[in-house]
């Protein structure tokens, strides 16, 4: 059975704690907030508080009380704590790390500020830079919580109009930030506008809210999504079975009850989910919750995240160990988002082949070739 969510937080009425807006507003933005929300729950004595404060000053922190309640200890070895609370290592930036590691903002891919078009038939739409939790490995650290990426209603309207003029586009992917931090009215009005475009056949929502703020998946939201004529696909982001608590399972059940499929993409993270045992627990936990695993991403070259990246060889060995030990339909594809905006490729032949001198020669979907270093860095 899924693990129940621990409940020793904070002094508020149960109906408030179970309201997604309360969770969002009361998100911790410092260790002092963690202490206030969870008095006596976590032993913070061994932490490098100045180092953590320096990382917060660089990249910020935000974590809902619900998500922090899933942490079992204030330790970088705890998969929830490590993804919710900044680490001092984030202040160390390697030369190969990039502010925009997957090329979201490459000028040739940005027809408008609120859009990225990496493939002919799909487009990314950024309705908000806001998230309920600032994940430490996030490849959009520069964007999350940054008002410079808060596009106006007029700009979003221009994006919808542009999509309507591109008959090759058949799927619109709302990402961010987290589109489910929008109000029902704003989100559903935007989706309704996209739903009216004849050549848009599918709508996809990329969100971590079922994991970090599952109370967002309200019956009212599900009912609104059901009114759309296009299929709606929700892709969530669970990295460890510790995140599969009962509120997430209930949120997924509401979505599936409304006829909405739920997929999962996760990121391979060093020391957190990089063993066959942990990945099997995650895969089976997702299946029991009604979520279909579909992608395991190699960690991107995000500034200050080298402590969370494995090598590609480690990831390939992990997938080899999983094959034959979990159902084939639940085995995720191990993917690399090629730096520079060239799209995603499976880290297997013929897309990824050994290169002379080490590393990999990557064949991108756009036909270009790229060297990727043996340690997970672009080769020189």
**pLDDT tens-digit readout, 18-29:** 999 999 999 999
**pLDDT value of residue 6:** 45
**pLDDT value of residue 3:** 52
C-alpha neighbours within 13 Å on the C-beta side of residue 203:
24
The beta-carbon contacts of 27-36 under 8 Å, at least 24 apart in sequence, are 27/62, 27/63, 27/64, 27/65, 27/132, 27/133, 28/61, 28/62, 28/63, 28/64, 28/65, 28/68, 29/56, 29/60, 29/61, 29/62, 30/56, 30/61, 31/85, 34/63, 34/68, 34/74, 34/85, 36/10
Domains along the chain with CATH numbers: 14-91 (no CATH), 107-345 (3.20.20.70)
Measured CA to CA, the distance from residue 94 to residue 182 in angstroms comes to: 34
Residues 98-121: what's their mean pLDDT?
A: 95
Token pair 């391979």 in the structure block, residue: 268
Residues 343-362: what's their mean pLDDT?
A: 89
**Quick one: tokens of 362?**
């990557």
378 has pLDDT over 60? no
335 vs 13 pLDDT, higher one:
335
**pLDDT value of residue 380:** 33
Could you tell me the strand order of the sheet in which 360-363 lies? 352-354, 360-363, 369-372
SS3 content of the chain, % helix, strand, coil (to 5): 35, 20, 45
**pLDDT value of residue 137:** 95
**pLDDT value of residue 295:** 97
Residue-wise pLDDT for 192-211, tens only, equals 999 999 999 999 999 999 99
Residue-wise pLDDT for 324-349, tens only, equals 999 999 999 999 999 988 999 999 98
Ordered DSSP codes for 167-235:
TT--EEEEEES-GGGS-HHHHHHHHHHHHT-TT--EEEEE--HHHH-GGG--HHHHHHHHT-SS-EEEE
7 has pLDDT over 60? no
Q: Indicate the range of 179-193, 247-261, 353-367 predicted with least confidence.
A: 353-367
Question: Crossing angle of helices 184-195/153-164, nearest 10°?
Answer: 20
* Listed residue (301, 229, 299) closest to 259, CA to CA: 229
* Active-site annotation, residues: 118-119, 122, 131, 135, 138, 140, 300, 337, 344
Residue-wise pLDDT for 34-53, tens only, equals 999 999 999 999 999 999 99
11 has pLDDT over 70? no
143 vs 234 pLDDT, higher one:
234
Q: Is the pTM of this model over 0.85?
A: yes
Mean pLDDT over each residue of the chain, to the nearest integer:
93
Instruction: Categorize the per-residue pLDDT at 379 as very low, low, confident or very high, splitting at 50, 70 and 90.
Output: very low
Residue-wise pLDDT for 153-172, tens only, equals 999 999 999 999 999 999 99
Measured CA to CA, the distance from residue 185 to residue 194 in angstroms comes to: 14
Q: Please answer whether residues 378 and 371 qualify as being in contact, where contact means their C-beta atoms are separated by less than 8 angstroms.
A: yes
Handedness of CA 193, 195, 196, 197 (dihedral sign): positive
**pLDDT value of residue 366:** 86
Strand partners, 245: 3
Question: Crossing angle of helices 276-289/312-322, nearest 10°?
Answer: 60
Ordered DSSP codes for 14-82:
HHHHT-HHHHHHT-B-SHHHHHHHSTTTS--TTS-HHHHHHHHHHH---B-HHHHHT-SSSSTTSHHHH
């Amino acid at each position: 059975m899924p693990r129940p969510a621990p409940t020793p937080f904070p002094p508020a009425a149960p109906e408030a704690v179970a309201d997604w807006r309360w969770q969002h507003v009361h998100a911790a933005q410092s260790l002092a907030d963690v202490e206030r929300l969870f008095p006596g729950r976590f032993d913070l004595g061994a932490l490098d508080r100045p180092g953590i404060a320096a990382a917060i000053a660089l990249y910020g922190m935000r974590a809902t009380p619900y998500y922090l309640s899933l942490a079992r200890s204030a330790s970088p070895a705890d998969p929830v704590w490590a993804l919710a609370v900044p680490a001092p290592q984030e202040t160390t930036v390697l030369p190969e790390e990039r502010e925009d590691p997957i090329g979201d903002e490459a000028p040739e891919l940005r027809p408008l500020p609120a859009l990225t078009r990496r493939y002919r038939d799909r487009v990314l739409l950024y309705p908000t830079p806001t998230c309920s939790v600032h994940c430490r490995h996030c490849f959009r650290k520069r964007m999350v919580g940054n008002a410079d990426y808060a596009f106006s209603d007029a700009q979003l309207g221009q994006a919808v109009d542009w999509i309507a003029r591109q008959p090759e586009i058949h799927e619109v992917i709302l990402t961010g930030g987290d589109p489910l931090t929008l109000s029902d009215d704003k989100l559903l009005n935007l989706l309704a506008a996209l739903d009216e475009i004849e050549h848009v056949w599918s709508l996809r929502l990329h969100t971590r809210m079922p994991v970090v703020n599952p109370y967002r998946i309200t019956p009212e939201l599900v009912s609104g999504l059901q009114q759309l004529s296009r299929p709606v696909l929700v892709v969530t982001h669970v990295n460890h079975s510790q995140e599969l608590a009962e509120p997430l399972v209930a949120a997924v059940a509401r979505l599936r009850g409304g006829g909405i499929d739920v997929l999962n993409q996760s990121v391979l993270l060093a020391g957190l989910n990089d063993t066959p045992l942990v990945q099997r627990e995650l895969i089976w936990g997702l299946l029991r919750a009604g979520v279909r695993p579909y992608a395991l991403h190699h960690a991107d070259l995000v500034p200050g995240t080298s402590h969370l990246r494995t090598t590609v060889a480690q990831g390939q060995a992990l997938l080899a160990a999983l094959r034959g030990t979990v159902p084939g339909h639940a085995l995720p594809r191990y993917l690399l988002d090629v730096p520079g905006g060239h799209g995603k490729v499976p880290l297997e032949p013929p897309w990824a082949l050994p290169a002379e001198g080490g590393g990999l020669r990557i064949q991108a979907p756009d036909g270009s070739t790229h060297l990727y270093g043996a340690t997970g860095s672009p080769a020189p």
